[in-house]
């Protein structure tokens, strides 16, 4: 048994043996903690300035609208350009935006339109940054470790969910909102330094694609011609639109259902993050993901969302949020790992751009809708909408998959 545990541990942390990845992983952990500091502060600032769930939904919509509209073009740019210098530029731009909001807040001149403008500009940066980071995981470790690297990346990001919100809630309660933005601005510099200090010769660089006409259509046709990829993306789009609006629902859940303040909000976000860390570490030790596993995990997410809807007290609600975090992490890492493994070279940037649209770009649709439902009824109703949507989508996908025996192979060819 000890031998099996040791092998599982080596499998779970295999990517950390790669020096470039180890450097990037550490920087991601620091930067993601700063990002979650800012997200907590931004939500609290919007509630203070705008005072409604609808205002939170608008903030989320502005942050992800550029990805929805232009994400496919971002994927084309990722396939055309070298990823390390590309990410150096996007991380620098994101840091400057965080600094600007922090300075406006500490100077007591911040208004809600400034927060919305910064969210929109960051969304434009993420058009390229989001698919670029996903595709860069492949270059850091190569095909054999990419699924593990994706899981560990997610573990770093979700560890930040456990660290950042708790610190953010405490900072807001003690010294105010502005320091959260300023700390996040500094954390981006850590990623930039990590990228600049990498050994470029050790990267598994893919050939950049020449500029030519209709590359966006080419990427869409490629996914449409591969039913496994298309199924994963459609499932993710539905689950994300209605089920993954945590930034909108959790602050409303904390303040509405339990009459709490920033500390309770931070506790709930930390519980979410802890669950996601556990889910990421479990998925890192798994074998390569299959389409069947992705479908099972979206159903598990639906069950977790339903558990929050019916949680009768605060203790069980916090536990249900942790379960939601674990199921979300398992589902997302399996989805992105499947897409990474089954996309051919030269197309990976565009496939990951479609992933970013399905995961994040649908927020302009789901954020205001779910935020409006939660504002008119209650936050529990918002979670119920997500549970029903994810559950029904998973049932439809499972029924279709069982009718297509040829798609049940564990490792479909990359073409």
What is the model's pLDDT at position 71?
78
Average pLDDT score over the chain: 81
Using the structure block, give the residue that is written with the tokens 């025996």. 405
What is the model's pLDDT at position 191?
93
Residue 259: both structure tokens together: 């009459």
Please state which CATH class domain 11-197+215-408 belongs to. mainly alpha
Cβ-based neighbours of 383, under 8 Å, separated by 6 or more: 249, 253, 305, 306, 308, 309
Q: What is the CA radius of gyration of the chain?
A: 20
What is the model's pLDDT at position 88?
94
What is the model's pLDDT at position 189?
93
Question: Do 101 and 115 form a contact (C-beta atoms < 8 A)?
Answer: yes
Quote the CA–CA distance of 137 and 24 in Å, as a whole number: 10
What digits encode the pLDDT tens for the residues 220-249? 888 888 888 899 999 988 988 888 877 778
Q: Which residues of the chain have pLDDT under 50?
A: 1-5, 413
Predicted structure pTM score = 0.70
What digits encode the pLDDT tens for the residues 327-348? 988 898 888 888 877 777 777 7
């Amino acid at each position: 048994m000890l031998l099996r545990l040791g092998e599982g541990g080596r499998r779970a942390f295999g990517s950390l043996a790669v020096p470039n990845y180890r450097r990037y992983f550490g920087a991601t952990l620091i930067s993601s903690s700063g990002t979650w500091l800012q997200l907590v502060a931004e939500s609290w600032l919007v509630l203070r300035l705008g005072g409604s769930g609808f205002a939170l939904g608008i903030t989320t919509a502005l942050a992800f609208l550029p990805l929805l509209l232009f994400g496919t073009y971002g994927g084309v740019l990722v396939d055309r350009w070298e990823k390390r210098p590309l990410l150096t530029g996007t991380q620098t731009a994101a840091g400057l935006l965080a600094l600007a909001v922090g300075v406006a807040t500490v100077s007591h001149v911040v208004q809600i339109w400034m927060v919305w403008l910064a969210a929109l500009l960051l969304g434009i940066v993420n058009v390229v940054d989001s698919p670029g980071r996903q595709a860069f995981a492949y270059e850091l470790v190569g095909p054999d470790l990419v699924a593990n690297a994706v899981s560990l990346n997610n573990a770093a990001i979700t560890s930040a969910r456990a660290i950042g919100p708790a610190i953010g809630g405490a900072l807001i309660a003690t010294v105010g909102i502005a320091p959260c933005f300023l700390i996040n601005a500094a954390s981006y510099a850590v990623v930039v330094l990590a990228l600049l200090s990498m050994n470029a010769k050790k990267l598994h660089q893919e050939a950049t694609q020449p500029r030519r006409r209709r590359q966006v259509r080419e990427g869409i046709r490629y996914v449409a011609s591969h039913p496994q990829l298309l199924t994963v993306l459609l499932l993710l789009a539905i689950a994300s639109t209605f089920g993954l609006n945590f930034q909108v629902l959790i602050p409303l859940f904390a303040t509405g259902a339990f009459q709490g303040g920033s500390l309770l909000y931070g506790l709930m976000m930390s519980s979410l993050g802890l669950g996601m860390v556990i889910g990421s570490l479990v998925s890192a030790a798994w074998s390569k993901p299959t389409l069947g596993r992705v479908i099972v995990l979206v159903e598990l997410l639906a069950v977790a969302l339903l558990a929050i809807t019916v949680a009768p007290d605060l203790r069980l609600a916090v536990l249900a949020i942790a379960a939601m975090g674990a199921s979300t992490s398992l589902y997302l890492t399996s989805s992105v790992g499947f897409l990474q493994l089954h996309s051919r070279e030269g197309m990976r940037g565009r496939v990951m751009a479609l992933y970013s649209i399905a995961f994040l770009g649908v927020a302009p649709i789901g954020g205001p809708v779910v935020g409006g439902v939660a504002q008119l009824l209650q936050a529990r109703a918002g979670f119920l909408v997500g549970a029903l949507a994810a559950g029904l989508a998973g049932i439809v996908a499972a029924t279709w998959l069982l009718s297509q025996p040829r798609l049940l192979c564990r490792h479909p060819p990359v073409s």
